[in-house]
Amino acid sequence: MSYGRALKRDWVFRGDLVFAPDKHATPPPLEATEIGLGSIGFYPTTFAAKAGTTLTWVNNDMVSHTVAGRNWAFSSPVLKPGESFRFTFGSAGVFEYICSIHPGQMRARIEVEQ
């Protein structure tokens, strides 16, 4: 295949998976101590909690993700769709975290008060 032919290639994707309005337009409801992962993002992106609170991240996306705190203060294994991860914040502070698989798109923070 020549370079010229590659420019004429038409790419096809499954729009029903990427843009399914019933699945991606509105994130599923969460409990008071849950953080969702979906549409290549965390929601909410900023979460306030009291010290001693256990938070649960729930992967509602169609792809796998991780939850990785800055300097690895906390980290999950790879979470497949439907899986979750729990962590208890024992002290006050601001904890930034990412998905180590999608670090450019998935960033958020936890603000823990005493």
Q: How far is CA 9 from CA 5, 18, 34, in A?
A: 7, 21, 43
pLDDT of residue 27: 75
- Answer positive or negative: Cα dihedral of 6, 12, 17, 22: positive
User: pTM value?
Assistant: 0.78
pLDDT of residue 71: 86
pLDDT of 25 higher than 90: no
Q: Taking the CA atoms of the chain, what radius of gyration do you get in angstroms? A: 18
Over the stretch 42-62, which tens digit does the pLDDT of each residue have?
999 999 999 999 999 999 999
Give all domains of the chain, ordered by start, each with its CATH number.
28-113 (2.60.40.420)
Give the pLDDT mean for 57-68: 96
> In what order do the strands lie in the sheet containing 42-43?
42-43, 34-37, 53-59, 84-89
Residue type, 77: P
* Percentage of the residues of the chain whose pLDDT score is greater than 70: 78
Give the pLDDT mean for 66-91: 96
pLDDT of residue 1: 47
Return the H-helix or E-strand segment holding 95: strand 93-98
